[in-house]
Structure 1
Amino acid sequence: MIRVVVVATSPVVRVGLAAVVGSANSQLTVVGSAADLDSLTREIGELQPDVVLLDLGSNPQPSIWEKLLLIQEEQDSLEFLMIVEEPETIDLEAAISSGIRGILPGESTESEIIAGLIAIAQGLIVLHPDFLDLLSFREKVATTPVITLTPREIEVLEMLGSGLGNKAIAKQLQISEHTVKFHISSIFQKLAVSSRTEAVTVGVRLGLIML
């Protein structure tokens, strides 16, 4: 049995999604619901879900990605399926970097939502064609990583080039170590690398940083 928690800012949407999941498939059971990620964090230890069905409305706030990353650091076996009203309103790179394993549009059918929940619970990644098309478009119009790296990410990349660890970077920038990890994960995603050494090498080659 796959244990599901429904998170939605709208009470009506929350009840509706819980009803869909609870009645549509014998493989799924709803173990709880929450209005936001902060509420989920407080209850997650007791609920012990396998998958979170997440609907945060038409315009998710940028802070959501860091919150998701923090939750997954504490619950590394937890998977997220996100429902987004409009594909253009979501930062796909940030979503994937923060651990989202499934993204569906708001007009998804009940069967698509159920299939998505089961798929990511089995370790698969679910992306609706609308989001795949948008991702391909963004890749075509992107120029260089100089455009996509934020000033803060460039600062972190420079510190990686100096050999600083997460704790030292956090202290110097006066941010948490969790936030440092979030920035590093985003840098890896944007530069298409998998290690600090690779990130620094690519950063130097592209003129983002100097050693």
Structure 2
Amino acid sequence: MISTVRVLIAANSAIARVGLETVLAQSAVLTIVGSVTHRDLAEQLDALQPDVVLMELELQEDETLTALPALEREMALPAIVVLVDNVQSSWVSDLLQSGIQGILPAEATADEITTAIEAVATGLIVLHPEFLGSLPMTPTSPRSSLPSATNQPLTPREIEVLSMLAEGLGNKAIARRLTISEHTVKFHISSIFNKLGASSRTEAVTLGARQGLILL
């Protein structure tokens, strides 16, 4: 049985935030740790340390999607479930490439939302059946357009850093543990991304585990 999942709600509309709070409050497994606008998301992620972010996203006008990859290079992001409307296949691809683990339509039911949150909290990917038909290939196919690996082996230090990424540690915590500067940590992470062909911490950890470099 899954333990309590700490959830941070992110939506620009106050009405949407209240609605999502009402939905999540019905679950005995989910605990709401905060409810914020997209502008305050990065700050509250660091302060509240949620397990999952439930985000209402308007792709046509929202810049949050494009900011996620850069944000993930600075901190260990939690699992993210997004509620989106009028989704096109290209947007689904963009969302998956950004490291988002759950994609639901805006009209998803309360059960679908809570189930998706519980699933991504355990490391699963959740893609609503409504979106499967819009993809020309499998949900993970967009990753084929990402940079390919260089086939260079990771150094022992890079494997150490990768292991700490798997623990969910941020750059500051890694720097303190290894007694190195944050700048050096960022250099190692960039090198890891390049060698593994990853675009996010989550993907780097996944690829490292598949290659037997780290244990999860």
Band the TM-score falls in, shorter-chain normalisation: 0.5 to 0.7
Letter in 2 for 1:29: T
Letter in 1 for 2:5: I
- The CA deviation at 1:89 is 7.7
Measure the CA separation in 2 of the matches of 1:5 and 1:115: 16
Aligned Cα root-mean-square deviation (Å): 3.4
Measure the CA separation in 1 of the matches of 2:198 and 2:91: 14
- The CA deviation at 1:71 is 2.8
**Amino-acid identity (%):** 34
Letter in 2 for 1:122: T
Aligned counterpart, 1:9: 12
Distance 1:138 1:115, change over 3 A: closer
Aligned counterpart, 1:108: 108
Structure 1 portions without partners, runs of 5+: 140-144, 161-176, 187-193, 195-211
- The CA deviation at 1:185 is 5.3
Letter in 1 for 2:29: Q
- Give the TM-score taking structure 1 as reference length: 0.61
Measure the CA separation in 1 of the matches of 2:59 and 2:121: 25
- The CA deviation at 1:33 is 1.3
1:60 touches 1:89 (CA, 8 Å); kept in 2? no
| Match status 1:27 vs 2:29 | yes
Structure 2 portions without partners, runs of 5+: 151-186, 200-206, 208-216
Return the index of the structure with the highest Cα Rg: 1
Aligned counterpart, 1:171: none
Aligned counterpart, 1:52: 53
- The CA deviation at 1:26 is 1.0
Letter in 2 for 1:19: T
Aligned counterpart, 2:125: 125
- Give the TM-score taking structure 2 as reference length: 0.60
2:52 touches 2:117 (CA, 8 Å); kept in 1? yes
Letter in 2 for 1:20: V
Distance 1:128 1:39, change over 3 A: same
